[in-house]
Amino acid sequence: MKEFISVFWLACALCELGLTSRAFGHGFAGPRFFPATISTDDPFIADELSLPTISTMRTPDDGGTRATDVSIDIAKRITADFGIEIGETFSALNPHHGEAVNGFDNLELGAKYRILESDTHEAIVSLGLDAEIGGTGLRSVGVDSFSTWTPGIFFGKGFGDLPDAVRFLKPFALTGLVGIEVPTSASTRSVTIDDATGARTIDIERHPDSLEWGFALEYSIPYLQSQVQDMHWHTPFDRMIPLVEFALETPLDRGAAGQTTGTINPGVIWAGHYCQFGVEAIVPINERTGNNVGVIAQMHFYLDDIFPHSLGRQLFGGNK
């Protein structure tokens, strides 16, 4: 944890370079800036790069497995309202019993279309479709041979339209998503043969449709300072956004209905002009998810601010 804290302060110092009076270049609805959340996807269409996202946690598999993931994700605007994403993860699995394995997970693709944005109410809604392409990763890390499609809806809402009597609640904001994960295969079969007897055993693993849902509750210090009351806080505290994320999955059928898994992730994001850095704890909600607290950290770059006239420019429909 000390290493994560040291990296956090270093990242803050790097992102502080070049800071301007308008400290953020994307993720706005009116005066509200929504940071790119780490554990749940945000509703914005933007040019951005997450490199890297690093997480580590002990899962209950095989008597306890230390799972460490290093991910990269890039998002690109096609138009002002439509964007695509591509992501890949390298996983290292160290089980309590047996040999450690590592390799790349399945390739992940996504598309998102913004259907509503209200500057007055600091609100945004988008529709999206994510896909995990089966068989593109290595079987040694347990990737699925089948693909999974997840259509969903993404939303963000700032509380800046609350009355002045509760003005210190205005910096709060909520983002979230709801989607249905649909595997292309309802089940897979595997055959094992007993070396001594030659007997064959057929194992059938069912793959349920699942409800993917999550949200992030944020309190923006930059919004507090600029829109509510100047608290005279200085760097790095004036750019911090404390938050807690809930990332959950609930199977809907095929013998697993209602067996929710997921995590609660409290943490903080520091957002500068060109990039942001965030770190969160990973707290399992039940024993099916795990029994140990993990940690996740992410370095995230705003390509539309770093390269506004080239890589960070939407492909069609304008220069913004």
pLDDT at 89 over 60: yes
Are 198 and 176 in contact, with CB atoms under 8 Å apart?
no
pLDDT at 39 (0 to 100): 95
At 42, list the tokens. 């945000």
- Convert the pLDDT of each residue in 151-197 to its tens digit: 999 999 999 999 999 999 999 999 999 999 999 999 988 777 777 77
Note the pLDDT of residue 42.
Answer: 92
Confidence at 208, pLDDT banded by 50, 70, 90: very high
- Residue ranges of domains in the chain: 2-17+28-306
**pLDDT one-digit tens code per residue, 231-247:** 999 888 999 999 999 99
Other CB atoms within 10 Å distance of the CB of residue 263: 23
Q: Are 213 and 179 in contact (CB under 8 A)?
A: yes
pLDDT of residue 319: 56
Average pLDDT of every residue of the chain:
90
Q: Is the pLDDT of residue 22 over 60?
A: no
- pLDDT recorded at residue 60: 82
Is residue 129 scored above 80 in pLDDT?
yes
Q: What is 2-17+28-306's CATH topology?
A: Porin (2.40.160)
* Closest among 64, 60, 61, 86 to 75, alpha carbons compared: 86
- Model confidence at 83, pLDDT cuts 50, 70, 90, reads very high
In this model, does residue 23 exceed pLDDT 50?
A: no
Residue given tokens 């509200």 in the structure block: 32
Residues 17-38 have a mean pLDDT of 72
Q: What is the pLDDT of residue 203?
A: 83
pLDDT of the residue at 11 = 52
Number of H helices, E strands in the chain: 3, 17
How far is it, in rounded angstroms, from Cα 320 to Cα 312?
9
* Type and span of the H or E element at 137: none
pLDDT given at position 13 = 54
Q: Which amino acid is at 116?
A: L
**Is the pLDDT higher at 236 or at 106?**
106
Stretch 202-220: mean pLDDT: 94
Q: Please say if the pLDDT value at position 97 is more than 90.
A: no
pLDDT on residue 317: 83
